Amino acid sequence: MVHVDVVLVLTTVVFAILVIIASIYFLVYFQHPDDKWVAWFPKVIVVLGLSIACYNIFLLPLDVANQKGQLDAPGKIPMTQISIAFYIVTVIWCLVIVPFTVFFYEGSDEDDGDQKSTPSAFGYALKWLVPILVFSAGVIAALYWFSGYADVKATRLTGVLTPGSDMSFAASVAYCGRTTNVALTGFTQCYRQPGTIHASVSVLVYIVAIVSFVGWVLFSIFGGVGLVALPHDWVSQFLHRPKPITANEYKETKKEIGRNSVLLMEAGKTLNEELRAANRSGLSGRSWRRLKNRENEFRKDVIILELHYRTLEDCYRNQGGNFLLQLGLFIAGIIGSILSLVWFIHIILYLIPWALHQNPYHPFLNNFLNAVNDVPFVGTVFYALFSFYLLACVLKGVATLGMKVFFLPIHPLRVGESLMNSIVFNTGVVLICSMSVAQFCTLAFAKFARYTSNQSIFGVQMQNLRGIQYGYDAFIFILLGFAFLTGCYTLYRPRHKRRENRLSFQV
């Protein structure tokens, strides 16, 4: 009879409920007032998507608690099946649910008039989603057919057995080299032959691996940018916080913002007409990309103008804003700087030697997590702090590069002002990167995650997949490279220049 750890199961259920509550709070905290009692479908998608992303992160500490550092799980929870199930749901959410929701509301925006045409929006979503799914399925099927194997390095031991007095047997490298062994079971002769085992991988694991690989691309780029940009921006916002201004300064600046807003409104009307005409005529190719790039630039100008207006209101009406909130942001920036520094040290000491197939210089955070894990929930809290900080850095990297690279879409999260399409977009980014962050943490905390099913899935099967195993080694250096470039850019331009007088659209 299997005895399941009831306390661990109840704790997991409580954590799952708390995650759902936190996801709902996140949605309410960031949503725009116009979406307060409408758009229930994307809200459900966001809450479930954020919850799944959090569950992906928390699977590792649950796995550690279930294993308790032993090869045979004392908790008896089938973590391998549970982990694969959550990762498959994540794949479905990333490839089907979130894209369909985004395309659906883009289709609603393309409809003429003020009323949304649901059938038209549904057809628009399917028009874009079906080809993407067919293409993705074809690519994954072809890759699996030709390279659906894990090449695991192993050492083959061969020799002539000598029975011991108790007739037991234990194969060990320590027996190699023995010439005679009477008291203990061993080999009279032993040969060690290094080689590679070619093990087939299940289709489900391979699909998860491919989607996770895409998440690694996003994580290594945007996460590297965010590790530097996030704490820097928090500290910079405090140092350059709004200062009180006079009534005359307020009036003059407001007039300038008003003139720019008029230009943007007229440019927006022209752009909207061009987008509708392009949609009706089926415009594609370079012309369509050029039009979408103009739309991205327009959105960036609107975001910057709104930022300047909110800053102006804080300077005059709030006389600089709430100092305690600004001080809290500064403290968060200091904590973020420490977390980023700790991650960089851990990557240098532990992950870079691993990527070079050498022994790590020092376990660093592994020792820390193993030490605090003896206290209930403390290890989980610190693990969550390190892992969710990486997800926050990814979102910051998306916003930072989106404002500087013209062809990237921009969907910033602003407290109380984020529209549902922006929240859904960021949910998709968090979801697809949650698996790569979970894999990154499993590799970074390998000694903390020993004997876990996550280590078997990420560290053995996915990490040794034929054709992409070397990509994981490269992603470590890509992440550090983007962090270094962001640091250099920050030192070169410590404060972003304002673009009050710079508009992409002139009428």
CA atoms within 13 A on the CB side of 482: 23
Q: Specify whether the CB–CB gap between 413 and 426 falls below 8 A.
A: yes
List 264's β-bridge partners, or say none: none
CA dist., res. 145 & res. 328, Å (int): 53
Best-predicted range by mean pLDDT among 191-200, 245-254, 480-489?
Answer: 480-489
Residue 343 vs residues 132, 390, 426, 465: alpha-carbon distances, Å: 36, 9, 23, 26
Residue 132's pLDDT is 86
The string of pLDDT tens digits covering residues 97-133 is 988 888 887 666 554 444 444 667 777 788 888 888 8
User: Can you give 27-94 as a three-state secondary structure string?
Assistant: HHHHECHHHCCCCHHHHHHHHHHHHHHHHHHHHHHHHHHHHCCCCCCCCCCCHHHHHHHHHHHHHHHH
The string of pLDDT tens digits covering residues 201-220 is 788 888 888 888 989 999 99
CA dist., res. 452 & res. 449, Å (int): 6
Q: Specify whether the CB–CB gap between 487 and 225 falls below 8 A.
A: no
Mean pLDDT of all residues in the chain?
Answer: 81
Residue 255 vs residues 260, 261, 315: alpha-carbon distances, Å: 9, 10, 15
CA atoms within 13 A on the CB side of 392: 18
CA dist., res. 267 & res. 504, Å (int): 9
- The alpha carbon torsion through 406, 407, 411, 414 (nearest 10 deg) reads -10
Q: Specify whether the CB–CB gap between 188 and 156 falls below 8 A.
A: no
Going by C-alpha positions, the residue among 334, 325, 327, 324 that lies closest to residue 231 is 334
- Give 457's contacts (C-beta < 8 A, 6+ positions apart): 80, 83, 84, 87, 205, 208
The string of pLDDT tens digits covering residues 15-59 is 899 999 999 999 988 888 877 777 788 899 999 999 999 999 999
CA dist., res. 277 & res. 110, Å (int): 10
DSSP 111: S
DSSP 112: S
SS3 at position 252: helix
The string of pLDDT tens digits covering residues 448-461 is 888 888 888 887 77
Find the range with the poorest average confidence among 104-118, 135-149, 393-407, 429-443: 104-118
pLDDT band, very low/low/confident/very high, at 168 (cuts 50, 70, 90): very low
Going by C-alpha positions, the residue among 302, 228, 294 that lies closest to residue 265 is 302
Please check the confidence at residue 75 and state whether its pLDDT lies above 80.
no
Residue 472's pLDDT is 81
Q: Specify whether the CB–CB gap between 314 and 320 falls below 8 A.
A: yes
Going by C-alpha positions, the residue among 242, 470, 484 that lies closest to residue 347 is 484
Q: How many helices (H) and strands (E) does the chain have?
A: 16, 2
Q: Specify whether the CB–CB gap between 323 and 243 falls below 8 A.
A: no
Tokens representing residue 400 in the block: 């930072």
The string of pLDDT tens digits covering residues 257-297 is 888 888 888 888 888 888 777 777 766 667 777 787 788 78
Question: How many residues does this entry show for the chain?
Answer: 507
Find the range with the poorest average confidence among 108-117, 328-337, 485-494: 108-117
The string of pLDDT tens digits covering residues 82-100 is 998 999 999 999 989 988 8
CA dist., res. 88 & res. 94, Å (int): 10
Best-predicted range by mean pLDDT among 116-125, 154-163, 179-188?
Answer: 116-125
